[in-house]
Structure formats: C-alpha cells, structure tokens
Amino acid sequence: MNLNFEQPIERRNTQSYKWDQCDKLFGDKEILPLWVADMDFTAPSAVIEALKARVEHGIYGYTIREESYYKAITSWVERRHHWSIKQEWITTSPGVVTALSILVNLLTEPHDKIIIQTPVYPPFHQVIRGNDRIIVENPLQLKDHHYTMDFDLLEQAMKDPDVKLMILCNPHNPVGRVWKKEELQKIGEWSLKYGVFVISDEIHCDLIYRGHQHIPYASLSDEIANYSITCFAPTKTFNIAGIQSSTILIPDAELRKKYNDRLSTLSLQFDNCFSVVATEAAYNHGEEWLNGLIDYLHHNLEYVMGYFNEYLPEISVIKPEGTYLVWLDCRKLGLTGEQLKDFMYKQAKIALNEGSTFGSNGEGFLRLNIACPKETLTEGLERLRRALEKLE
C-alpha cells in the first residue's frame, strides 16, 4: 500500500489541468498551482494495479456494470457512512456536475428558481444560469471563523412557489462545513413542507476530519430519500478525477427511469472501461490508503493554521471540518477580487481560487488546496509570505 504522501511527484507535462496551463491561464509557467481540487498524490496501489491489469488485456470495448460494481459501492457506503442503500437506486454519470446539469433540466423548467448556499462551488452557479434557471442565494453566515446556515432566510426562500429545487453542498465546498444532523433535518422538513426538491452533492463525503461525521442527507428518512437525489464519487476520495466516474442515487423509481432515459438520449449510458475497474478497486481495497490520507491532510491543516497564525496573521483561516480545501479570509488586506488575483499571480507566483467566483460573499477570500506534499505546501506559503512583506 503506497502511503508515502511526502514524496513530491512531477506533474508538469502530463496534460494536467491543474499544472500544465499556468502560463495560459495566469501568464507564468512558474506559478505554483494550489487551486484545482485534485491531489498531488498517487492513487491507492490497488487502483493502480487494477488499471494495469485492465490495460494489459488490450481490448477497451463498451463496458457494463456487474454485480461486483454495485456491491463495492453499497458496502462502502454501509462501512464508511452507516447507511444501507439499495442497489437499484444506483445510476451513474461521467461526473457529478454532468449529473447536476441533467437533473436541473429534469426537475425544473426555464426561469424556475433554484436555491444555493453561497459562497459555493462555481459550477453550481453555471448549471443553473446555463440552463436558463434563476439563482436564489441563501448566503451562509460567518461568525467567529465559523459558517452557519441562515435558516430564517432559507425558509423564506423555500416558501416562494417559483423555487423548485435546492442544490445542497454536503460537505460544503469551499467553507469546509460538515453539516450536522439537526441542520440537515431542517432542510428536509422544509423541503417536504414547501415542495422543494433537494439534490445533495456529497462528493467530499469521505474526506472528514477527526471529531466530525458525514451525515448523508437522504439517510434522514425514507420520505426525505424519496424527495432527493444524492451525488458522490470515488474521484475526489482516491484522486482519480481524470477517470471520470460518479454515483447518482435516485430512490424514486419513476424519476430514476427519467434520468436513465436522459443519459441514453445523450449517449452517456456506457461507463468508461477504466472507471468501473478503478471504482471497484478503490472502494474494495482503498480504505487503508484513505485513512492514511486523512491523517496526512490533518497534519497539513494543522501546519497551515500554525503558519498563518505565526507569519500571516492578517489572513484568517476558516478551519474546515472536511475536504482538503481551506477557505482563507483575506479581507483585512483591503484588496478587491481582481487585485487579489493580480497579487497571487504576479507577486506571490501562486495560484489559489479567488473567492468571488464562489459568489458575491466570497469577495476577499481565497481557496487553498492542501492535498499536496508538505514540501509543496511550504513553498506556496513561503511565496505568499514574501509577497505580503513586499505589499506592506
């Protein structure tokens, strides 16, 4: 089992979205990328070996999902999240965002309203606006370096008869909250009361820090499960995003048929031949690797918090409860979003995600990816510190 997360691995010149376009996007190929949410770690050895065996077979034809595929998923969810799901609920998509776009079209009509909790993952905004729907923001509230939901505003939004859907981010990207059972129950109660369907994006569900527990939204009750869809994937968990695989849980049989019919219409019904193999290997044999990863991410997180506290106190760290993404409050620097980008790319020579892309209440924030060897992370923090010293 490869558990050496300290070893830097050269990713340049590998067609990496994260590493190989810094010159095109940011104007400098020497910029250190700490932005896109994939990890700079090799996948579990079991996944690598399974893929090698599949490659060596030499024929890469149309691929089906057999019983072992479904068993790997249901067993993982039972072991990791204490939730018994039914095999027939399981369908798929090349990625969670692809599924979100399809589901927005299936569940709503043009000009319907959809709730999101900002600041939130930018594709949430894109799949709503791009499908000619209307965003209703339920801004999260930041107090004492901790985000909470504004439940009064959320209920008010759900009462609007034009609001048909809510896309929930659980755990939340970028603020790192792992929503508690009572928080999710409020959403479920109002979803059923006001007829607002919920899609729960739970792609970061396996990346949870000590002292916190992921609660699958649909696990709250059968009624809530039947009025919701859950999306997750092995891709974030095991760093295999490029293989493109996700699981879409649709308990309602009629809705599941509509979704699968739409997949067929779009010719998305076949899985990538490598995604099936990688998914099974990851869920069946990747747990030790994941436990080691979470320990390593925890050490990186503690290091980041200590570093900012000692050397960069003007930037506040919002400590995440899950994910490998750290939300940084840079508002004391007094820079606009555009100025922050200019500062990152031209002065610090690093790439983090600029906060306004997550919503207007993300202005003045940055998102840092800590899923990299400590050596890489240290270099990024040192570049930031040196640039801030010159800024002052």
Coil/strand/helix, residue 274: helix
Mean pLDDT by 10 residues, the chain (392 residues): 84 96 91 97 97 98 96 98 98 97 98 98 98 98 97 98 98 98 98 98 98 98 98 98 96 98 95 96 98 98 98 97 98 94 96 97 98 98 96 76
Distances (CA, A) of 385 to 37, 77, 352, 369, 380: 23, 41, 14, 17, 9
Give residue 1's pLDDT.
54
DSSP per residue, 228-267 = EEEEE-HHHHHT-GGG--EEEE---HHHHHHHHHHHHHTT
The reported pLDDT for the residue numbered 4 is 82
Q: Which residue from 64, 81, 89 is spatially nearest to 216, judged by alpha carbons?
A: 81
Q: What is the tens place of the pLDDT at every residue in 298-339?
A: 999 999 999 999 999 999 999 999 999 999 999 999 999 999
- DSSP 8-class letter at 343: I
**How high is the pLDDT of residue 391?**
83
Residue 36's Cβ-count burial label (10 Å; 0-12, 13-18, 19+) is middle
Q: How many CA atoms lie within 13 A of 175 on its CB side?
A: 24
Q: Look at the pTM and tell me if it is higher than 0.95.
A: yes
As a whole number of angstroms, the distance between CA 184 and CA 392 comes to 43
The pLDDT of residue 297: 98
Note the pLDDT of residue 91: 97
Strand partners, 365: 329
* pLDDT computed for residue 320 by the predictor: 98
Residue 278 in contact with residue 234, Cβ under 8 Å? yes
Residue 2 has what pLDDT? Answer: 59
Would you say 233 and 247 are in contact if contact means Cβ atoms under 8 Å apart? yes
Tokens of residue 57, six digits: 């077979």
